[in-house]
Structure 1
């Protein structure tokens, strides 16, 4: 079977969650004997046409010139190229900028789409953009032969709103190898004497709520904010917290080994995501021996259950920072439980097999 993966900026991952998913998924499927094509932006740092057995097709991506609008052109270019290739299944990771071109997808291939989170609920978008995203979601459902949900919550939503069944396949992670404490020297931090968050700096990720809590707590411990901050909102955050020396904006870090070590040696890892399904960064935190303090919402609770502490406001963040420590006995139990979930439920080997089973079951079944 030959599979084309659309919807990411490409692999190896140099951007975010869907790229990480595409990387592990493509490698895993190739090892199982599938032929896999992954579409990459033309300006991706990796410019070769093959990566560990995965065929890479670079398409022109004007996002660097046009911003978000460039993503729509990039997706169009990928679909236009796809029409000239002989593939059995198209796997779309997300639909935001590709679903408007769904009518151009080849008619003789099976299209299955990972519907991601509820993009139209993201508060960073204006009401007009949110209406567009809801429309794009409808198109994503319309032009797909099959749907994938990365959480039970998304699966229920698609059933209730569109009357569509979907296959539940979460994201995956691997339990981290032995961490490297030397990484900490680069950031002038000490084992278990710092806290952090890793996220895109966007309002719906509770960044401001968490940092307000950090400022209130006055623990004296460094607090690392890992994520690209050269944005309008990032500049706002840096200005707002400029007087708090404990808050350090260190930018994006895309080296997974380095990230895992930073997570491993942290005291508390804050996960503020409020929208979406099984978030990749949350699984990676669980796999990295992190003590997790998460935003209180059904998506996070489904994954973490009782194996985390939760917050809903900055006062609760402050209380966690001053009263809970990774070395506490009950915290060690939560960390161990989350590690076991990665081994037994969210392991990438298991997830790849679930995708392989899904692809085999839908091959040749076109319903649109």
Structure 2
């Protein structure tokens, strides 16, 4: 696809090559591929997170913007300043991530800069945003549909939600995956684990990922395997502390696992992977579970049904501990079925989850916006 020296600015996450969450990973995967296709890519970085501040990394231009360093203001003030800077630059298109940045589309509209936003999941329903936070994200998502030239959602279900909630259509471009067909089982020695000796949870210890529900149900089951919980929260939190203080020999909390090879090994060699994420579209942890060949046990939501192709690539549990316990006992009795799910999981990564295909779809959107302005 001809890019004709297309210039794209990306903002709304922590920056590049910093990788902490899903948006940071997407910027890395997408930015590097766009750069190799001849696009001039500029990424706005959160200045406080970078000790060294090189102007260019891997051909990607980096701009380090400040922010008001308060928990609830950091991301919004960083995005606000980044948007103003990008609008006065020579880029053709601005790509924004995170529905919390919805109101800033008014800036690019007034300054006539083509802008697209990836709005991700149902932020206003997440338990961590209570009161004002929930109202802000609902309002912000509505503002995004009003002020941005294009809305990107990463699943068909999220497109349906935006049509229903905001009467606005969106372009569906899924999140990408990096599958792998093997992992070093010796890396499990760090936790004294053996292949297939444990069930696995991966995700932040926040209520909307339902680790408490899964742990409660697992401990009610008859399984003699362990439940390995990978993840934490980067701040003091009563919910996370309550979980980590549970005493049972079957429970193992690893905290964050930042070594990608160790994390890959934990996925590859688990007996089954639990996915309790409730509010969102295409989930990166679920893509890893598919790409690393896991038998998947997922909370029954429309998003998880879509990703697992209505049960082709996983089993489901309801939002209660008894349902989890029942599914664990069923999985323990179903050794052959679990192996079949592991063998067929990678085939669940259809073309829509291929990073190169994802990049081509974004590139098409950017070129259309540039052409429309011209």
Matched, 1:260 2:247: no
> 1:327 deviation in Å?
8.1
1:207 aligns with 2:214: no
1:235 maps to 241
Equivalent in the alignment of 1:84 = 88
Which whole-Å deviations, capped at 9, do the CAs of 1:162-182 have from their partners, x for residues lacking one?
332211111010211531222
Pick aligned residue for 2:293 from 289, 297, 304: 289
Question: Do structure 1's residue 359 and structure 2's residue 366 form an aligned pair?
Answer: yes
**Cα 1:330–1:268 shift into 2, 3 Å:** same
SS in 2 for 1:363: helix
Corresponding position: 1:60 with 2:79: no
1:103 and 2:106 are equivalent in the alignment: yes
Quick one: structure 1 residues 161 and 219, their matched pair in 2 at CA, closer, same or farther if it must change by over 3 Å? closer
Higher mean C-alpha deviation, range 172-181 or range 100-109: 100-109
Contact 2:272 2:294 in 1 (8 A): yes
| Mapped partners of 1:39, 1:179: distance in 2 | 34
Q: Does the C-alpha gap of structure 1 residues 327 and 357 become closer, same or farther in structure 2, counting only changes over 3 Å?
A: farther
- 1:29 partner SS: helix
Q: Any conservation in 1 of the 2:293–2:344 contact (CA below 8 Å)?
A: no
Q: Structure 2: how far apart are the matches of 1:259 and 1:36?
A: 30
**1:12-31 map, 5 Å:** 12-31=17-36
List runs of 5+ in structure 2 lacking aligned partners: 1-5
Aligned length: 361
How has the CA–CA distance of structure 1 residues 179 and 88 changed in structure 2, closer, same or farther, with 3 Å as cutoff? same
1:156-210 deviations in whole A, cap 9, x for unaligned? 1222333322111110102115312222112221111111111111111111100
Alpha-carbon distance in structure 2 between the residues aligned to 1:254 and 1:346:
23
| Equivalent runs, 1:135-284 vs 2, <5 Å | 135-217=139-221, 219-229=223-233, 230-232=235-237, 233-239=239-245, 241=246, 243-284=247-288
Report SS of the residue matched to 1:182.
Answer: helix
Distance in 1 (alpha carbons) for counterparts of 2:240 and 2:327: 24
**Per-residue deviation, 1:325:** 4.8
In structure 1, the partner of 2:346 is: 339
Aligned-residue CA RMSD (Å): 2.0
Inter-partner Cα distance in structure 2 for 1:11 and 1:330: 41
Tell me by how many angstroms 1:360 deviates.
Answer: 2.0
CA contact (8 A) 1:201 1:234 kept: yes
Aligned residue for 1:8, secondary structure, equals coil
* CA distance in structure 2 between the partners assigned to 1:332 and 1:345 by the alignment: 25
**How far apart, CA to CA, are the structure 2 residues paired with 1:332 and 1:362?**
46
Rounded to whole Å, the distance in 1 between the matches of 2:269 and 2:54 is 35
Preserved contact between residue 5 and residue 37 of structure 1 (Cα < 8 Å) = yes
Task: After superposing the two structures, state which structure 1 stretch, 183-192 or 217-226, moved more.
Answer: 217-226
Is the CA contact 1:267–1:325 (under 8 Å) kept in the aligned structure 2? no
Distance 1:326 1:5, change over 3 A: farther
The TM-score with structure 2 as length reference comes to: 0.90
> Is the CA contact 2:295–2:345 (under 8 Å) kept in the aligned structure 1?
no
Q: Which of 300, 307, 324 is the aligned partner of 2:331?
A: 324
Once the two structures are overlaid, the 10-residue window that deviates more, 254-263 or 285-294, is 254-263
CA distance in 2, matches of 1:51, 1:219: 48
Q: Which residue is equivalent to 2:3? A: none
Cα 1:354–1:215 shift into 2, 3 Å: same
1:117-151 per-residue CA deviation (whole Å, 9 max, x = no partner) reads: 11111122213221111111111112200111111
- Tell me, yes or no, if the aligned pair for 2:153 and 2:173 is still in contact at 8 Å: yes
**SS of the residue 1:90 aligns to:** strand
Q: Which runs of 5+ in 1 are unaligned?
A: none
Instruction: Report the secondary structure of 1:277's partner residue.
Output: coil
In 2, Cα distance between equivalents of 1:48 and 1:246:
46
Q: How does 1:109-148 map to 2 (within 5 A)?
A: 109-148=113-152
Cα 1:326–1:276 change in 2 (3 A) is: farther
Q: Is the 1:196–1:269 Cα contact (8 Å) retained in structure 2?
A: yes
- Are the aligned partners of 2:212 and 2:243 in contact in 1 as well (CA < 8 Å)? yes
Q: Decide whether the 8 Å contact of 1:116 with 1:277 is kept in 2.
A: yes
